[in-house]
Structures are given as C-alpha cells and as structure tokens.
C-alpha cells in the first residue's frame, strides 16, 4: 500500500524483552485479593508504580524444566514463563511456589534456607522442592506500548498464594507488599493515592469480576491460553495521554495515523477543524451529534493540493459546516459523493456545490445513487450523475500521483447505499454500512436485512482482494482490529477490516437467532412483545430504534421460511 501516515517517522527502540509477571491471589473476607508491591523510585521502568511481582526471563528458566511440575497442556514457552514468575516472586518477595515431596507447600524454614542471590532452581532441587509451575496459569498477555523505548513481552500469570507463607519485600526493587481487592486498588488509583500503569489497570478491571480465586483459575485453565493479548496505542484526549486496547473505538484510528506509536493524534471530537488521517485524507465532523449520529456525521476529504479533492458525505445542510468543508478543499473540489440519501448525509451537497460556483470555480458534480421509492420523504435524493457499480473516480497530480476511489453498491441500510474504496491506500469509506461503537439501523421498507448481510459479504471479499486494513465510517473513529501474529506479537497483521466485518456479521446473525427465540417464546406476540426479549442487553431508551431493526430481522426470518405466527 502507498499509505502515507501523518506521523510516519520511525522510533528507535530496543527489541522486545521477554519477561513474566505473576498475580498471587487469595480469597479475602470481601472477595479476591491480589498481592501488589511498590517499585523503587529509581527503577528504569514504571518507577514508583504499584505492580505485581515479576521480571525478565533468564536463560536458566528454560533449563529448569526438570525441577518443575508441568500440566499436559503446558507448552515449553508457558512452562518457561511460569518458572521465571516463580523465581521472581521468590527473589522479590520471598514467596515460594514450590511443594515438598509430600505435596505440602514449602515452609518458612525452606524459604529461609534458600539464598535469593544464588541460582534458584538448583537450590530448590537440592532441598527436595518441586516448582509448582503446573499451578501457574496465564491470565493475560501484554506487549509494552509502541511509544516507549524500553519494551517488554509479558504474560500476566495467575497463581494461588501458598498457605503459611508471608511476603517479605527485597527492599531494593520492591517495597511495601500489600494485599488489595482489585476494586479498591482501582478506586485508590482514581483518587491519586495508588499509582498504577495502564496494563495493571486493565488487568485489575478484568480480575474484579471474579468472586473467588477458583473462578479465576477455572477461567484460565479452560483453554490454557491468555484471556486477551494487547499491545496498546496512545493518543491525546483534551491534550493528555490516553491509552487504548485493540477492542476500544480509538485503536484503529491510532493504528492508521500513528503506526509507529507516536503520541501526537488528538482523539477529541470537535467540529471546527479538519482532522488529518493520512496526508491525502482528512475528516471533518458535522456538529449533529445525537443518539443516531454519535459524535456527528463524518465528512471525508480525499486528495491533496496538487490533485484536487473529492468530498464524501457533506452531511446535513449546516451552513457553517459546509463552509468549513469548502475551505478545507482550497476551492479545488472535483466531485461530491453521497454514500446514501439520509438527511444526515446528503442535504449539504447542494450548498457545497453552490459555494464552489459562487467562488468562480466549476461546480463539482454531485455523485451517488438516487433514492428508491421506498425512501422516507426526508431522504429524497437525486444526484447529478449516477455512480456505476465498480466505477472509479481518479484524482491525478501533475507528478503522476493518483488517488482512486472505487464505488461499491451496498444496499441494505438504505436501498441507494454505496461505499467507496481508496485503492492506493487500502481504505474503505463505509458510510452507514459499518459504524464504530454501534450497529447501523436497518429500517424497512428502504432497509433490507438480507441485502445488508449480502453487502457485508461483498465488502469482506473486497477487503481480501484489495488489501483493505482500515474502515472509515460515517460515524465514529476509524476501525482497524489489528491483532498480532504468534511469531511477532508486537507487529500488526493485515486483514483488520475483514475481521471487523466478520465480527459485525456474526453479531447480526446472533441477534437474529435471539429474535427467532423471542418469536417462538411469544408466538402470539408482536414487535413490542419481542423487543424486550431480543434486546434485553440494550438500554430500554433505545428500544424504539431497535424495534426498526427487529422488524427487518423478522421479515428476513419469515422470508427464509422461519417462524410464522
């Protein structure tokens, strides 16, 4: 791809360092408690932060398999990590996850007999202790954020605190060992009394949903793999650093704009200035935020001063927004494209065209698909020219640089909906077909669920054909669900857009199955009876909106020969 990020300068970083962290847990009177310590203020990483014990993986850890008990499902890598975590918890806190020959936990006498500074595993073997690596499970997998120069590849492991042992900090790297409920640690951090870093915060948030230690261990043992893997990205919210995991709405946008991890991109929603996403793509969000529009309608500007510009979805007929859009194009607007005719997308097109004419420029044509007879009265739209399916709109600069938008007919949300693919950069402008943070409403008769699902299939195929990694929706941040490959956990892999589409389709079909069950449970009912059953996970204030998509699913279920009342 010829993608040109706004912030594309590479950082110079050290390679990832393998490490291991262990969450030692116990059941307290009010629920699960976890052992945390404070790092030295002179530590090179996260000084002064409260953390779980852990540290780097040594070569000796991978050579100590004979000293450790092992689960049948425990790989060599997981065993090495568990041994490293056991060693670190001993060296830092004097906690020894090892059992005697009779199966009892190591005693205070055993611990006192070991030297924290001497080779660890041989001492345990000499004393008849077997490392309890089989009782250490992986909870999460974190890779240090890309913006930091010192980076680690760290499993967060889970183990039950051995009975009869008490933590004693080494007072050189770790201080103040204390047992704390996850919810209390998070509350104290929010109050500024307990400094913890982002991965610790997110780990505690996931840990706090478990009522007992056994619940945590059972969840980890189910597949013997991390419950999640994350290499967060950071942007700016109100001028301050804000970090985000892969499943969170801003992540894809940060991956597109700052692929190397620079903390330069503002994530705040504002309506006054265009936001550069690539050197050839800007986003200007209309000030029409609401339940149906999120932060507002995203108008996109594709092109550069040398090639001229194409505007996508000028939005509502808001004079201030349209003037800002016109000025961002430098009065060199070559075309206006509307993804569909809904009132938050197309009405501004005529005003934008008129502004160009008033400035003495050739009025750019308004392109798209005419609204169907099924469209509501406020969604009537007639373009100057109809875009053919697969038609290409080409902007070309004098130096030969091109920006090519391919139109793709995608009925479903609206009968005249289309999407656009920026071929040189592998970007999909999805209109309302795919949103970030919500699912689009399918409102019959202009909306059709079968057509919508078929359009998702077509877009998924186009992602494979054209290497599309990112989706630019009409509402919300850029989407790009980029997960890591097993051999290089910090590197994004292609296909994030395809995975986002697959996830969306699976969500739609799961909802449809839930609607079918609601129809079967209330065979004499109607839409108002089925909504509370099928959308019980959605706030009641949104049920009137959900009712419209429910109708689309009901029509599809019946068309496929499903339940008929």
Q: 421-464 pLDDT, tens per residue?
A: 999 999 999 999 999 988 999 999 999 999 999 999 999 999 99
Taking the C-alpha atoms of residue 397 and residue 153, their distance in angstroms, rounded to an integer, is: 44
Residue 2 banded pLDDT, cuts 50, 70, 90: low
What percentage of the chain exceeds 70 in pLDDT?
94
Please name each of the domains of the chain with its CATH number. 17-230 (3.90.79.10), 269-488 (3.60.15.10)
Residue 486 banded pLDDT, cuts 50, 70, 90: very low
**Which ranges in 222-334 belong to alpha helices (H)?**
251-257, 319-328
The per-residue pLDDT for 150 is 83
Q: Cis peptide before 331, with omega less than 30 degrees from 0?
A: no
Please name which of 275, 201, 202 lies closest in space to residue 236, comparing C-alpha atoms.
275
Orientation angle between helical segments 182-190 and 198-207, nearest 10 degrees: 140
Taking the C-alpha atoms of residue 219 and residue 184, their distance in angstroms, rounded to an integer, is: 22
Residue 99 banded pLDDT, cuts 50, 70, 90: very high
Mean pLDDT, the chain, integer: 92
**Residue 333 and residue 407 in contact, taking contact as beta carbons nearer than 8 Å:** no
**Residue 199 and residue 112 in contact, taking contact as beta carbons nearer than 8 Å:** no
Q: Identify any residues that bridge with 159 across adjacent strands, giving them in sequence order.
A: 24
The per-residue pLDDT for 73 is 92
CA angle 278, 279, 281 (to 5 degrees): 55
The per-residue pLDDT for 310 is 98
CA angle 247, 252, 257 (to 5 degrees): 155
| pLDDT(103) > 90 | yes
CA angle 101, 106, 107 (to 5 degrees): 125
The per-residue pLDDT for 374 is 96
Taking the CB of residue 42, how many other CB atoms lie within 10 A of it?
Answer: 9
CA angle 170, 176, 179 (to 5 degrees): 115
Residue 491 banded pLDDT, cuts 50, 70, 90: very low
Q: Residue for token digits 């099924």?
A: 374
The per-residue pLDDT for 176 is 87
| pLDDT(330) > 90 | no
519 by DSSP, 3-state: which?
helix
Over range 11-33, report the average pLDDT.
89
Which of 94-98, 191-195, 479-483, 540-544 bottoms out in mean pLDDT, i.e. has the lowest? 479-483
**Which ranges in 281-344 belong to alpha helices (H)?**
319-328
The per-residue pLDDT for 487 is 36
Confidence (pTM): 0.90
Taking the CB of residue 109, how many other CB atoms lie within 10 A of it?
Answer: 8
Please give the residue that has the higher pLDDT: either 423 or 145: 423
| pLDDT(525) > 90 | yes
The per-residue pLDDT for 6 is 67
Over range 360-378, report the average pLDDT.
94
Over range 316-323, report the average pLDDT.
97
What percentage of the chain exceeds 90 in pLDDT?
85
């Amino acid at each position: 791809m010829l993608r040109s990020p706004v912030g594309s300068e590479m950082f110079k970083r050290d390679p990832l360092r393998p490490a291991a962290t262990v969450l030692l847990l116990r059941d307290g009177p009010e629920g699960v408690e976890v052992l945390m310590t404070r790092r030295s203020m002179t530590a090179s990483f996260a000084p002064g932060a409260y953390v779980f014990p852990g540290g780097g993986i040594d070569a000796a850890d991978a050579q100590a398999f004979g000293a450790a008990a092992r689960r049948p499902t425990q790989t060599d890598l997981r065993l090495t990590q568990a041994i490293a975590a056991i060693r670190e918890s001993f060296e830092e806190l004097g906690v020894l996850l090892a059992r005697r020959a009779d199966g009892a936990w190591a005693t205070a006498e055993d611990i006192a007999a070991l030297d924290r500074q001497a080779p660890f595993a041989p001492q345990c073997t000499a004393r008849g202790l077997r490392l309890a690596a089989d009782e250490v499970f992986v909870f999460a997998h974190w890779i240090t954020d890309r913006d930091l120069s010192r980076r680690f590849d760290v499993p967060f492991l889970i183990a039950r605190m051995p009975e009869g042992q008490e933590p004693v900090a080494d007072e050189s790297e770790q201080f103040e060992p204390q047992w704390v409920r996850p919810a209390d640690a998070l509350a104290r951090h929010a109050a500024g009394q307990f400094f913890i870093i982002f991965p610790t915060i997110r780990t505690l948030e996931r840990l706090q949903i478990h009522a007992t230690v056994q619940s945590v261990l059972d969840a980890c043992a189910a597949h013997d793999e991390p419950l999640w893997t994350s290499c967060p990205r950071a942007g700016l919210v109100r001028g301050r650093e804000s970090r985000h995991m892969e499943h969170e709405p801003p992540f894809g946008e940060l991956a597109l704009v700052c692929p190397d991890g620079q903390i330069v991109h503002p994530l705040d929603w504002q309506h006054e200035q265009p936001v550069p996403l690539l050197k050839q793509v800007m986003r200007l969000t209309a000030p029409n935020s609401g339940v149906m529009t999120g932060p507002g309608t995203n108008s996109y500007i594709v092109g550069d001063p040398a090639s001229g510009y194409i505007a996508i979805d000028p939005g509502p007929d808001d004079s201030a927004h349209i003037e800002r859009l016109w000025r961002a194009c430098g009065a060199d607007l070559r075309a206006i494209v509307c993804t569909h005719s809904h009132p938050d997308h197309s009405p501004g097109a005529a005003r934008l065209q008129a502004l160009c004419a008033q400035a003495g420029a050739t009025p750019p044509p308004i392109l798209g698909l005419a609204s169907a007879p099924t469209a509501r009265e406020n969604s009537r739209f007639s373009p100057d020219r109809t875009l053919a399916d697969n038609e290409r709109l080409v902007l070309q600069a004098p130096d030969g640089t091109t920006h090519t938008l391919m139109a793709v007919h995608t009925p479903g949300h609206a009968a005249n909906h289309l999407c656009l693919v920026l071929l040189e950069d592998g970007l999909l402008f999805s209109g309302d077909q795919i949103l970030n943070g919500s699912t689009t409403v399918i409102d019959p008769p202009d909306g059709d669920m079968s057509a919508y699902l078929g359009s998702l299939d077509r877009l998924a195929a186009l992602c494979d054909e054209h290497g599309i990694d990112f989706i630019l929706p009409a509402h919300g941040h850029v989407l790009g669900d980029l997960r890591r490959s097993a051999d290089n956990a910090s590197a994004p892999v292609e296909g994030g857009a395809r995975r986002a589409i697959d996830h969306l389709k699976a969500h739609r079909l799961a909802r449809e199955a839930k609607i079918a069950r609601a129809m079967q449970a209330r065979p004499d009912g109607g839409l108002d009876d089925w909504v509370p059953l099928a959308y019980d996970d959605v706030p009641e204030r949104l049920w009137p909106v959900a009712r419209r998509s429910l109708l689309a699913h009901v029509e599809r279920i019946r068309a496929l020969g499903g339940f008929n009342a």
